[in-house]
Amino acid sequence: MFTKQMISSEIPMLMSKACEIFIQELTFRAWMHAEKNNKSIVQPCDVAKVIMQTDTMNFLTEIIPNNLGDFSVFDAKEENIANIAEENEVSLSFTAGFMGNPMMKMDSEENAGNIVEGNQATLPYTSGFMGNPMNMMNMDNVRMK
């Protein structure tokens, strides 16, 4: 239906820079979620929570797997059945640690409630984040814009 459209030579360069900024912002916010839960590995559930809580990322809600609200494994192809088994073991170990920690459970339930209710309010970030109050202020400024 659309007639053929062309792109300027600037577009690939601009889009690559925009994608770089996008990846780093999303990764940074996901890392803050992971750190809030005392984890040092960025998981798909961290990325999913950031997408749920950020208005500008609403266009990504469709491609988040449905079962990612829990500590579930990212859906993989049939070819990765063996990997699925291994990931399930890893997921179980996370679950074990999760069940053994009431504070984590409370946090998880709170987050789940926010996600289910569609609450757009951003969760308060850890006050000791990165040990640098300036970063905290800057992030608040960025989010306020």
Partner 1 sequence: MDQDVQDRALPIANVGRIMKQILPPSAKISKEGKQLMQECVTEFISFVTGEASDKCHKENRKTVNGDDICWALSSLGFDNYAEAIGRYLHIYRQGEREKINHTKKYENPQNQTQINRAPPPPLLLSRVENPPPTNQSG
Closer by beta carbon to partner 1, 9 or else 127: 9
**CA–CA gap between residue 22 and residue 16 (Å, rounded):** 10
**CA–CA gap between residue 37 and residue 31 (Å, rounded):** 10
Sequence letter at residue 24: Q
Closer by beta carbon to partner 1, 79 or else 117: 79
Q: Residue with structure tokens 């800057």?
A: 138
Interface with partner 1, residue 92, by CB under 8 A? no
Interface with partner 1, residue 97, by CB under 8 A? no
Interface with partner 1, residue 66, by CB under 8 A? no
**CA–CA gap between residue 72 and residue 137 (Å, rounded):** 33
* Least distance from partner 1 to the Cβ atom of residue 81, Å: 14
Helix (H) or strand (E) holding 98: helix 81-99
Interface with partner 1, residue 133, by CB under 8 A? no
Residue ranges in 4-43 that form contacts with partner 1 under rule CB under 8 A = 4-8, 10-11, 13-15, 17-24, 26-28, 30-31, 34, 40-43
